[in-house]
Amino acid sequence: MTAISPREARRCHNAHHPVHAAYYFVSEHDDAYAELGLEGGPMAYLAGRAAPLGAVGSGVVTAVFYNFHPDLVARHLPRAWEVASPAAVLEARLRITDAYLTRLLGREALRSPEMAEAAELALRAAEGCRRPGRPLYSANADLPAPEAPHLALWHATTLLREHRGDGHVVALSQAGLDGLEALVSHTATGTNWRPGYLQSARGWSPEEWAAARERLVERGVLGGDGELTVEGAELRRAVEADTDRLDVAPYEWLGAEGTRRLTELAGAFSKVVLAGGGLPLRDIGKR
């Protein structure tokens, strides 16, 4: 293992993350799940992300996803498993991924030596992830890696994303931010994710959002104008620093040279994915 700074680890995560994250936004996502009988939007999202856990109920998913309204989750799970089994959903995930990466990157890129190398490096990095306290990572890690390089890359970036996400939940909990407070304070950092979008997508009412904001004002995290205070900005910085620290292990396992190479290769693929509209963050930012 080679010492890697949290900044280098985060840079690599940011480079490969769009390859994974586009899955949730592309048109192929809801279309494929509709073929299974699942409703688009929250049901498709929740079932697709939770499927590695098995046919679990809403309580488990609410806990591990952290910032979704319990009632929203309960409306769709376990009802989704009556429509499509977790195994069927997992098969659909790979069909979706194959379709959008083929469309956005092109078949030549999928068959390229660079894709094979990126997949190999990402899978190797994922070997350094840690299971204890990482439920979403661990559930995905029990799945076999696909043989096709582009699907193997997506599988590996999913492992790396969920490993980081599990650590982020630890950091938020340590900071005393519940799921809704995490969303409210996050939108105050200037992110592309705006309150209107996250409030609706995560199932919170305007009244619940306002109450969380008021709690953060009373705590000194937000000012009366809804902006982060100096203390609030430091709290969010500490959360991100803890998240980075908890996510170093896979990149230390990969080593400095491998991490730099994965950043380079995956970053190039991510740029193409973003240029093709795989992640419509500008539109989200307007909501």
Q: What is the pLDDT of residue 281?
A: 60
Residue 95 has pLDDT above 90, yes or no: yes
Q: What is the pLDDT of residue 194?
A: 82
Estimate to the nearest angstrom the gap between the alpha carbon of 83 and the chain centroid.
25
Q: What is the pLDDT of residue 283?
A: 46
Rounded Cα distance between 171 and 174, Å, is 5
Note the pLDDT tens digit of each residue in 194-203.
Answer: 888 899 999 9
Is residue 250 very low, low, confident or very high in pLDDT (cuts 50, 70, 90)? very high
Residue 48 has pLDDT above 70, yes or no: yes
- Lookup result for tokens 């990402």: 122
Q: What is the pLDDT of residue 7?
A: 94
- Lookup result for tokens 């769009």: 18
Look at the alpha carbons of 263, 269, 274, 279 in this order and tell me if their dihedral is positive or negative. negative
Q: What is the mean pLDDT of the chain?
A: 95
* Cis peptide, bond prior to residue 113, ω within 30 of zero: no
Q: What average pLDDT does this structure show over 243-252? A: 97
Note the pLDDT tens digit of each residue in 153-182.
Answer: 999 999 999 999 999 999 999 999 999 999
HEC profile of the chain: CCCCCHHHHHHHHHHHHHHHHHHHCCHHHHHHHHHCCCCCCHHHHHHHHHHHHCCCCHHHHHHHHCCCCHHHHHHHCCHHHHHCCHHHHHHHHHHHHHHHHHHHHCHHHHCCHHHHHHHHHHHHHHCCCCCCCCHHHHHHHCCCCCCCHHHHHHHHHHHHHHHHHHHHHHHHHHCCCCHHHHHHHHHCCCCCCCHHHHHHHCCCCHHHHHHHHHHHHHHCCECCCCCECHHHHHHHHHHHHHHHHHCCHHHHHHCHHHHHHHHHHHHHHHHHHHHCCCCCHHHHHCC
This prediction's pTM:
0.95
Question: CB 19: neighbour CB atoms within 10 A?
Answer: 30
